[in-house]
């Protein structure tokens, strides 16, 4: 079991609507449904001895520091292939999302091959990193250390955020890595390719595995006459990229800046970009749900040919199993700064919920079980999306109304809770935030049930198996 297709969005604090840092990713999979949950990992639940399920890599106990922090996670609930914690925010208000599966090329694989025995992967990184971070840059240092010592068997990207900074790291071969700080006024969209382009060794805002610059020169890996473009050096530029990866970035760029232009298959779309406005939570959710609306490539649209509708891979699709926006807010008390916006299932038929992370537990309907159960919102969202997919023109408007209603209600609860906690003790704050999370989860669950009821009512007369009685 492997989650291999995701879309990452990063937004610096000066590029966001409310001055928060935001790192987001849709966690996508393959043909098999992968149920995802929402859990709180307290220090006593953090592994003191660790062995990967997939690779059987054992981590030296000395590399599992004492006094881990509490953190939230969005794990695969079956546990069959390991934890796959995916994303969360810890007690120091440091956020991490991992991982974005990315591309590579034969040149670097011939120098530093992916490890074929042991090594770390997406299964491991959040569990081995997030509970030990006090700043975003600590995540780069921690993962860099783990990669150089234990290696990896796959190419991955991951992001870290705190109140002030966002860092994005990509693995290079079996043991090397690069990382770049995202400028405060910029945003990033990172699909399933190696994404970091312009790179400056030794400058602030750039970090890399020791000896990487020397390796590039020694093996004559740089195709450019000036500077370093890491996507050119270590990444790919394939037909698959032109149909699977680049169009997603192109569509998001043109949503955030309509003057971006270009073509869907363009290979050299920039990593660091600037929107024509400040970016909201709703903007990120919209692009994570997008399917080339108002273009010939929209599978639900009426502009293109059947062939065009299947030309490019959209961001929102049936294989979205969990999507998060990890928001570290400024201008609020630290106790309420960390918010893990979360939704399950295909993003075309769900709504984000802004869960506080300074809590005692997570809502039961978001913890999820491995078997179909309509008391759990993961399975409820899957059902809504599969029914909605049968006639998007009819059901799409119902979903829009449902999502607007749900977001408005959650915003209201969040505003009221933010005001309330200013007068509470630390213990009372945790209890109040846990209660607020439960209230939002219940509201969105009930709204989703209502959405399904409205879809059934609308779809009753659209069934093929019918015969009108006209007597």
Query: Can you tell me the distance from the alpha carbon of 337 to that of 331, in angstroms, rounded to the nearest whole number?
Result: 8
Query: Can you tell me the distance from the alpha carbon of 153 to that of 149, in angstroms, rounded to the nearest whole number?
Result: 13
CA angle, 366 as apex, 363 and 368 as ends, to 5°?
125
Q: Which of 6, 343, 365, 410 is catalytic?
A: 6
| Biggest distance spanned by C-alpha atoms of the chain | 86
Q: CA distances (Å), 274 to each of 6, 11, 147, 156, 160, in order?
A: 22, 10, 31, 24, 20
Query: Can you tell me the distance from the alpha carbon of 89 to that of 98, in angstroms, rounded to the nearest whole number?
Result: 12
Q: State both tokens at 470.
A: 């006209």
Q: What is the DSSP letter of 5?
A: E
Query: Can you tell me the distance from the alpha carbon of 82 to that of 372, in angstroms, rounded to the nearest whole number?
Result: 21
| 6 neighbors 288 (Cβ within 8 angstroms) | no
Comparing CA positions, the residue from 177, 180, 181 lying closest to residue 212 is 177
Provide the residue count of the chain.
471
Residue whose pair of structure tokens reads 């071969």 in the numeric block: 173
6 is annotated as an active-site residue = yes
Query: Can you tell me the distance from the alpha carbon of 237 to that of 104, in angstroms, rounded to the nearest whole number?
Result: 9
Residues annotated as part of the active site: 6
């Amino acid at each position: 079991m492997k989650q291999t297709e995701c879309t990452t969005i990063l937004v610096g604090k000066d590029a966001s609507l409310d001055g928060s840092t935001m790192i987001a990713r849709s966690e996508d999979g393959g043909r098999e449904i992968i149920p995802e949950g929402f859990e709180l990992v307290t220090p006593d639940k953090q592994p003191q001895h660790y062995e990967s399920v997939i690779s059987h890599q054992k981590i030296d106990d000395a590399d599992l520091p004492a006094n881990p922090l509490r953190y939230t996670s969005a794990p695969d609930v079956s546990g069959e292939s390991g934890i796959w914690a995916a994303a969360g925010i810890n007690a120091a208000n440091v956020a991490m999302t991992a991982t974005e599966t990315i591309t590579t090329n034969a040149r670097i694989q011939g120098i530093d091959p992916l490890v074929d025995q042991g090594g770390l992967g997406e299964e491991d990184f959040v569990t081995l990193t997030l509970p030990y971070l006090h700043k975003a840059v600590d995540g780069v240092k921690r993962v860099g250390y783990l990669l150089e010592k234990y290696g990896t068997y796959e190419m991955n990207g991951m992001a870290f955020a705190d109140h002030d900074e966002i860092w994005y790291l990509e693995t290079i071969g079996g043991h090397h890595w690069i990382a770049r700080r995202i400028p405060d006024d910029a945003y990033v969209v990172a699909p399933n390719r190696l994404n970091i382009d312009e790179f400056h060794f030794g400058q602030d805002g750039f970090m890399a595995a020791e000896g990487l610059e020397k390796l590039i020169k020694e093996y004559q890996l740089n195709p450019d006459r000036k500077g370093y473009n890491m996507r050119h050096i270590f990444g790919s530029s394939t037909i698959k990229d032109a149909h699977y990866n680049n169009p997603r970035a192109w569509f998001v760029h043109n949503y955030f800046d309509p003057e971006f232009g270009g073509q869907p298959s363009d290979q050299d779309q920039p990593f660091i970009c600037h929107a024509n406005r400040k970016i909201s939570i709703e903007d990120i959710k919209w692009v994570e749900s997008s399917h080339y609306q108002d273009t010939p490539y929209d599978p639900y649209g009426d502009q293109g040919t059947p062939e065009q509708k299947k030309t490019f891979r959209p961001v929102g699709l049936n294989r979205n199993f969990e999507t998060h926006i990890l928001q570290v807010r400024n201008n609020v008390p630290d106790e309420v700064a960390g918010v893990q916006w979360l939704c399950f299932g295909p993003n075309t038929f769900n709504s984000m919920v802004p869960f506080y992370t300074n809590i005692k537990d997570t809502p039961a309907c978001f913890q999820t079980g491995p078997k179909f159960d309509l008391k759990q919102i993961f399975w409820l969202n899957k059902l809504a999306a599969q029914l909605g997919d049968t006639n998007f023109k009819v059901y799409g408007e119902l979903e829009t109304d449902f999502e607007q209603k749900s977001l408005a209600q959650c915003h209201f609860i969040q505003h009221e809770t933010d005001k309330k906690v200013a007068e509470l003790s630390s213990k009372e704050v945790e209890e109040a935030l846990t209660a607020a999370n439960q209230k939002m989860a219940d509201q969105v669950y009930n709204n989703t049930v209502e959405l399904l009821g409205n879809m059934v009512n609308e779809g009753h007369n659209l069934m093929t198996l019918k015969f009108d009685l006209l007597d």
